[in-house]
Amino acid sequence: MEEALNLNSITLLIVIALACGFGMVRLRQPAIVGYIFAGVVLGPYGLGLVHSPEGIDFFAELGLLLLLFIVGIELSLQSFRLVYKTALFCAVLQSAVAIGLTWAIGGLLGWGFEASLLLGFVLALSSTAVGIKMLQEIGEFDTQAGRVTMGVLVAQDLLVIPMLVTAQSLGNGPGTGLTPMLGVKLLAAVAILAGVVVVLTRRGRIELPWSNYLRTHAEMAPLANIGFCFVAAAVSGYVGLSPSYGAFLAGLILGASTDRRPAFFMVAPIQSIMLMVFFLSIGLLINLNFVLEHLFTVLVLVFVVLVAKTATNITILNALGESWDRAFISGLVMAQIGEFSFALAKAGLGSGALDRDAYQLALSVIAFSLILSPFWLVTARRFHALGQLPLTGLKPTFATIYPVAFARMHWLALKARDITDRIFYRD
């Protein structure tokens, strides 16, 4: 294949990714698992369909910008006001625990201050896109547990702004690290974001300058909205903040405007495309050789992350006054690491806070946590129900947690024994 991305390679990549996504859906698993898998297999460390670093980086950045823009549109700041105290306290405490944990582990493993802090940021966040999908699949999206979970996810999305600014300023180069300029950037980013959130939550729908024109020229609305996203991202990057910050801010503003409803219907058809582009690009960035070489380490870290984040989330929410059942559901849904964490890891690599191996380890753990989070939710909820059942051993426990899989394995075992009997005990 050619070094650069071209129309043929992009077309083939998307078609194969869609096929993998459909395959996962048929297996009753999230399509994003198929997209990540397709990216890993077809990327530069797999079959090599795409092995241009520039093309992959562009693919990933484009997918991230548009995904965050869509997430900003969909976030309901008015609903966030109803649970903002619990949500903000929970998000801040989650981040503090994650940073403390990585700091402690980093001290034992010899990590630098910058790497420990950045990996704490990465660990603290959960996936809004995956969380919404999981809440919808288990029928909890419109319940109190769903509202609390969405509130915490919104709070995390807001906290990621100072995290991104910090990640871009860490490292060993000139002007990096904990400098006065970093403090200025953080104050500016937080002040702008806080001001926008306060304005948007204390008034009705705002009227954008181009709204009246677009009402009479509806065919221009999609281009105008996407243009708003890219302009905001470019301005944000130009002033020293993250382009992702600008895209997310543009989504928040558009989502609180009178154009929210048409914009929502506009982005709905492309939302699945953006999810595919983003998670496919993440798969392309993952070094398959690194994953296979460090598979045990990656799986152990993923298991520790899922357990630690679940326990932390449940404990914090329960301590903040949520019932055990609501805290349990919310803690499970937020156990994975989020899509914003990919942006933080990329920023850390660019600033020098993470070396190439640490970056690949972070990518692998994030991707596996996203892949395994639906399985974790199902397994943990079924384990939660085991306390009501009298189980006498491993076999009845497995049969209770995974009844369909147990029935199929039992049928295969009977068939295998029947074939063995015919071979070895026939006359």
Average pLDDT over residues 186-202: 70
| Same domain as 293, residue 427 | no
| Same domain as 398, residue 381 | no
| Same domain as 398, residue 254 | no
| Same domain as 245, residue 119 | yes
Query: By mean pLDDT, which of 104-118, 167-181, 203-217 is the weakest?
Result: 167-181
The share of the chain scoring above pLDDT 90, in percent, equals 0
| Same domain as 407, residue 308 | no
Average pLDDT over residues 106-123: 82
Rg for the chain, CA atoms, rounded: 23
User: Structurally, how many domains does the chain consist of?
Assistant: 2
- Name the residue range of residue 403's domain: 391-427
Query: By mean pLDDT, which of 14-23, 88-97, 352-361, 418-427 is the weakest?
Result: 418-427
Q: Tell me, yes or no, whether 105 lies in a domain.
A: yes
Q: Tens digits of per-residue pLDDT, 339-360?
A: 778 878 887 887 787 888 888 8
Q: Tell me, yes or no, whether 26 lies in a domain.
A: no
| Dihedral sign (CA 311, 314, 320, 321) | negative
Q: Tell me, yes or no, whether 41 lies in a domain.
A: no
Q: Tell me, yes or no, whether 174 lies in a domain.
A: yes
| Same domain as 420, residue 294 | no
| Same domain as 173, residue 212 | yes
Q: Tell me, yes or no, whether 226 lies in a domain.
A: yes
How far, in Å, CA of 261 to CA of 257, rounded? 9
CB–CB of 137/29 below 8 Å?
A: no
Place of tokens 């329960």: 318
| Same domain as 205, residue 78 | yes
Average pLDDT over residues 366-377: 78
Band of the pLDDT at 230, cuts 50, 70, 90? confident
The reported pLDDT for the residue numbered 174 is 44
| Same domain as 414, residue 326 | no
Q: Tell me, yes or no, whether 272 lies in a domain.
A: no
The reported pLDDT for the residue numbered 203 is 67
Q: Tell me, yes or no, whether 278 lies in a domain.
A: no
Q: Tell me, yes or no, whether 134 lies in a domain.
A: yes
Q: Tens digits of per-residue pLDDT, 37-53?
A: 888 888 777 777 766 65
Band of the pLDDT at 391, cuts 50, 70, 90? very low
| Same domain as 405, residue 375 | no
How far, in Å, CA of 60 to CA of 349, rounded? 14
| Same domain as 405, residue 321 | no
| Same domain as 210, residue 136 | yes
Place of tokens 């096929």: 19
Q: What angle do CA 19, 20, 24 make, to 5 degrees?
A: 120
How far, in Å, CA of 337 to CA of 355, rounded? 20
How far, in Å, CA of 132 to CA of 410, rounded? 35
Specify which residues 206 forms β-bridges with. 257
Average pLDDT, the chain: 76
Which CATH number does the domain housing residue 254 bear? 1.20.1530.20
